Amino acid sequence: MAIKFDGKVAIVTGAGGGLGRSHALEFARRGAQVVVNDLGGSVDGSGGSSDAADAVVEEIKAAGGTAISNGASVTDDAGVDNLVSSAMEAYGRIDILVNNAGILRDRTILKMSIEDFEAVLNVHLMGTVKPTKAVWPIMREQDHGRVIVTTSSSGLYGNFGQSNYGAAKLGVIGLINTLKLEGQKYNIHCNAVSPVAYTRMTADVFPPEAEQLMTPERVTPAVIYLASEEAPTGVIICAGAGVYAKAEITESHGAYLGGNANAEDIAKNWDKIADMSQAKAPFMGGEQTGKYFEMASDR
């Protein structure tokens, strides 16, 4: 069955180009009314213009879709309020939020300023928290919502020179790990996409041939699926070049070393502790506590 969004409203942040533009165009093609949000700044977050968001809106309208543009910064409280109120005034509901806006300020931790660390953290983490918090009561009242955050392999696995970006990108996983629980009762599903795509943010990193292979359009299907009625909740989908995979945070079964275990005991038993052959991905933190209690009580 085709995934459609007729009657649904989607907000896509950072949608003036790259991944966000691709997401916004596809949502509109599938029937959604789209709010195209983009500050219009440079890769490092400086500057701003509504031209990029307006151009995407015109693309959507030219194709027969419905959209409005919004130039608010996702880090600005008043701007986020304006983003959400504009969507509600135009369409009366918000069904989907795709948190995609981002900047880069790459440097090693030795050379990075605290200002650059905080700037990236603010856009990627707080710029996800603020729109999500703003739409949450609306989705709860509707008894329906889909929240998608954008993570990265830099957050999941690390990348040289991106401690600020990596910290923020793993931070959004911590966010949805709790929101998936808080949203269950209200049919609000919270998921993450980890994209690999050739955009202006990655043009200096990828070789030129990647531009044709790793297009944003080859990531967007994962976002569309995560916004659908069939979407799971609390998952990370990695997407790039037409390849799709699921990522998880797992924990080994572990080893019971006794209440009086010391550091030397850990060293001696490290192979058993680190054995991932029976690793599992807990759905919530309490499962870890329960496992530890059970393993210790059995002795």
Report yes or no: 67 and 28 within 8 Å, Cβ to Cβ.
yes
The answer for 269, left when phi > 0, alpha when psi is -120 to 50, beta otherwise, is alpha
Distance (Å, rounded) from C-alpha 13 to C-alpha 114?
Answer: 25
- Closest by CA to 171, choosing from 188, 150, 189, is 150
- Closest by CA to 226, choosing from 26, 14, 18, is 26
Q: Which residues pair with 146 in a beta bridge?
A: 96, 189
Give, as one character, the DSSP assignment of residue 185: G
| Catalytic residue from among 91, 157, 165, 186 | 165
Strand order in the sheet with 236-240: 66-70, 33-37, 9-12, 96-99, 145-150, 188-195, 236-240, 243-247
Amino acid sitting at position 84: V
Q: Strands, DSSP E only, in 131-275?
A: 145-150, 188-195, 236-240, 243-247
The count of other CB atoms within 10 Å of the CB of residue 199 is 21
Amino acid sitting at position 13: T
* 157 is known as an active-site residue: no
SS3 141: helix
Residues with catalytic roles: 165
